Amino acid sequence: MALEAETKNVVAKFEYSDEDVNKGVQEFLRQMSEGLEKENTSLSQIPTYVTAVPNGTEKGLYMAVDLGGTNFRVCSIQLNGDTTFNLTFSKVAIPRELMLAKKAEDLFSFLAKQIELFLKTHHEEQFDHHVRRRETVSSPDGYKDEHVFRLGFTFSFPVHQIGINKGTLIRWTKGFDIPDAIDKDVCALLQAEIDKLGLPVKVAALVNDTVGTLMARSYTSPGKTGTLLGAIFGTGTNGAYVEKLSNLKKPLAGEYDKSTGDMVINTEWGSFDNQLNILPNTTWDIQLDQASVNPGIQMYEKRVSGMFLGEIVRLVIAGLLKDPSVALFKDDNSSQNDMGSTTNIGEQSGLFTQWGLDTSILSVAAADNTPELSTLRQELDKSLLIYAASLEDAQAFKAIAGAVGRRAARLSAVAIGAIVLQSGKLTETADEPVDIGVDGSLVEHYPYFRDMIFEALRAIDGIGEEGAKRIRIGIAKDGSGVGAALIALVAASLEG
């Protein structure tokens, strides 16, 4: 009985009530407003220089490249003008030595060569035509740009953006270290190498993948309503939304289109409430934060994103294993275990190492509703080397993992709900859907994650049952591909 009682005690500590959700929404709104007014706030509220979202009727052939980590992806996207598109892509690993290159141009010339190879392979006709024209025209400016591909560049490293296709590198992450590139405009670096190869490509937009998610959803979503919010709930979490320009009070460098009255804002909401005004803070949250590479930072992300949920569960389980009064994964003898054996844990089990419990097992636990929890018990055996776990053990694990997942979903609803309220869209019209695009492993693969988000949205003052019915959350795929191409399209339309 001690195990069941202790499990209930743990689960209660992860409870995030309707009242907590509402307090969270109010604080999120306050920090959003603060981020629109000044720099160096919890929510960075970064203007993206993207001032319109697509409606699905856009047409054309665009390119996108994505440098998000150890791979470089090159795509071309044919927008068909009917919310559909055709995507062609190639992917190549970045050689380790180029991640640590002496000069920025070493990396960027490699990237440009991949673009050249892609064009030769997949767009031979346009490529050859361009080369022929270049050879027959005496003046370099003697031909028009109609065969120039507009390219969206998804660059998933911290940049200071100063225009739709201008941004200087703040620092490298993810194993890259090329000091020569710091403080340089990454679009200009790529364009210089493209120009050396004489390619018909113009870097038209610098793209954040979350903004790309917003654009991709807005193009593919049903109806003519533009999407309000693009959100990632995966390894990390972030959101980008459409804000009224009149609410953006802090000074904005560079040029942008003021005619729409809107500006897409990248919230960088992983760092929401780093000061812990309202975020829940259990002993396990504290342990996780103190052992992380960035203590005190990304506090919202550490309670919501897939990278951290497994670690929270591991810390809870590891703590219970050390408690002699709690019989978790231990039996006095085989008669106490419905497997007719005694439970033991392999020495190499991930339970004993930081990050050793993958968040994917939370999805298995949530999905297994069989009376014997046999799928979960097989997974505990396979991925955590917990052999012959009893039914009671599996029930305790399922309850704890479920409590951590449920809290993450309800915290996700805080950000979504606050942005819906900030937009005023529920009161502007009586029936138009409020469209939200989401991407990431949690919303795609964690069972009932979206259901739990909606349950919390219904509890938010100003949304309620009726408002929640109008919020439409749909999966948006490939923000760094089709989303980047769509930003290149928006940028190209501003050139004229």
Residues with catalytic roles: 156, 171, 209
Rounded to 5°, the CA angle 73-160-94 comes to 25
The crossing angle, in degrees rounded to 10, of helices 360-367 and 374-384 is 160
Name the residue with tokens 């005496």.
138
User: Do 425 and 431 form a contact (C-beta atoms < 8 A)?
Assistant: no
Q: Counting every residue, how long is the chain? A: 496
Helix/strand/coil (H/E/C) assignment for every residue in 119-163: HHHHCHHHHHHHHHHHHHCCCCCCCCCCCCEEEEEEECCCEEEEE
Neighbours of 245 (CB within 10 A): 16
What is the SS3 assignment for 380?
Answer: helix
Instruction: Please state the separation of Cα 41 from the chain's center in Å.
Output: 20
CA pair distance 110, 65, nearest whole angstrom:
13
Task: Single out the residue of 209, 206, 201, 175 nearest to residue 107, CA to CA.
Answer: 175
The 10 Å Cβ neighbour count of residue 145 is 11
Helix (H) or strand (E) holding 201: strand 201-207
Sheet containing strand 201-207, strands side by side: 85-93, 71-80, 59-67, 149-155, 201-207
- Secondary structure string (H, E, C) spanning 281-330: CCHHHHHHHHCCCCCCCCCCHHHHCHHHHHHHHHHHHHHHHCCCCCCCCC
Beta bridge partners of 241: 229, 265
- Residue 466, SS3 per DSSP: helix
Please list the residues that pair with 74 across neighbouring strands.
Answer: 65, 90
> Within 13 Å, how many C-alpha atoms sit on residue 385's CB side?
10
Phi, psi of 440 (to 5 degrees): 125, 160
Give the 3-state secondary structure percentages of the chain, helix then strand then coil, rounded to 5: 45, 20, 35
Tokens 């409590």 correspond to what residue?
Answer: 403
Taking the C-alpha atoms of residue 475 and residue 220, their distance in angstroms, rounded to an integer, is 10
What three-state secondary structure class fits 185?
Answer: strand
**Residue 402 backbone dihedrals phi, psi, to 5 degrees:** -65, -35
